[in-house]
Structure formats: C-alpha cells, structure tokens
Amino acid sequence: METSTKTAREIYLDIKANPARKRFGFGHKAALINVDPQKAYTRTDLFKTAYETDPNQMHYINELGKQFREKGWPVVWTHVAYMDSGEDAGIWGTRTDTPDSLQNIKFGSERSEFDDRLQIDRQRDVIYLKKMPSAFFETQLQSLLVWHQVDTLIITGGSTSGCIRATAVDSLSRGYRTIVPEECVADKHESFHYANLTDLSLKYADVLEVADVFRWLDQGNNQ
C-alpha cells in the first residue's frame, strides 16, 4: 500500500492537475440526479447532520435543473424519510438511536423536507423516496432512464462519501456515463469529501468542475 503525508484534499488536487485516466466523457442525452438535498443534510444552521462544501451548491443545482428542463431532459430529486418505527431503515438504522439518527428522519418532519432554496418543479420533475444509499436501490429510476433513453447521469447532492458514491457506482454498473460536478456535492468533513472525489475520479465517474457541465450543455451536446 502506498503511503503519503498529504491530505485528502492535496491528493485530490494532484490527481485533478495530473489526470492518469481517460475520461468517460459525455454522451448524447443526460438526466440530472439530485441526491437527498434535504434539510437534514443542507441546513447547517438547523441540524448537526448537515454539511456544506461549496456555498453556491444550491444555486448550481438550480441552474442545472433549469437547463435540463429547457432541453426536456429528466430532473430527478431523491430524499429519505422513515416510519415512526424506523423499521423501513432496516439494519442501516440500528447503529445509533438519537434525534439525529438516520431512521429518525420521519415522514412530515423538517429534516425530511427539501431545502427551501431549491427550485423544484413539482409538475415536471420526478421525486423519489429512497431508503438506502443509492438512488437506484428499490426506486423506479432505472425504468425512468430507459424511457428517456439517456446515456449520461449528472449527479449532485450528498453526501460525497455516502449516497453520491453509491449512486455513482450503481450508475456506472448500469452502463451510464457518470458525471459528478465537484461544486455540486458535499460532505461532513473535507477528508471524506476529497478522498471520495479522488476514488470516484479514478474508478467510477468523471469528476468535473460544474463549469464543464454548463459548457457541454451550452454547446448543444455534439460530442
């Protein structure tokens, strides 16, 4: 095993500056998958479980959603919420039992609500309730993507080390070109965040600056 005295951020920036892998690249049609941008994870002023990496994350997500809707491409939002008993969290909900615990994000609670800064079109966008890390797990996401004939997923939300990573791995496993705009994902600690951006970029996804995604959208997707 290679060892290093560098921080996770420094390692990521080294990889970013000196890419050692060919990019998967963009395809012809994309879906925007916004993973759990709900108050439990975005409102740092309200909840200890929340986190922020880039203060403009919600703005970028809104701008991406706007452009996707203009193209008639799918915009998907996921969130988690559980029964009063917590039994629908399964084994995942057994490690702790505090007011901040995962299984205690209850239906109808403030923690389960999407961030108020988000511009969600509830007539056109698709909203899935999920119970586990991946946006694919036991949701209708795969069927939706097949219906829309997309070949590329743009994944935003959080956390980088959890539900973003799980969704990205499942996305690649299903044959999608997988793009993670780095300013559009967040985590509790920079070490988790940058270590997983590094791993994603080396194995499962193209980790790009959000400007690269906007540039592709503006160019008419002729790649």
- Residue 222: count other Cβ atoms within 10 Å of its Cβ: 7
**What b-and-e string marks burial along 98-122, b requiring 16 or more CB atoms within 10 Å of the CB?**
eeebbbbbeeeeebbbbbeebebee
Nearest CA to 186 out of 196, 174, 200, 172 is that of: 196
Task: Compute how many other C-beta atoms are within 10 angstroms of the C-beta atom of residue 158.
Answer: 27
Query: Distance between CA atoms of 33 and 89, rounded to whole angstroms?
Result: 22
What single-letter amino acid sits at 10? E
The reply to whether 163 belongs to the active site is yes
> Active site residue: 61, 163, 185, 186, which one?
163
- Residue where the block lists tokens 């007011």: 99
* Cα dist from 3 to 15, 200, 203, whole Å: 15, 19, 19
Show which residues are catalytic: 163
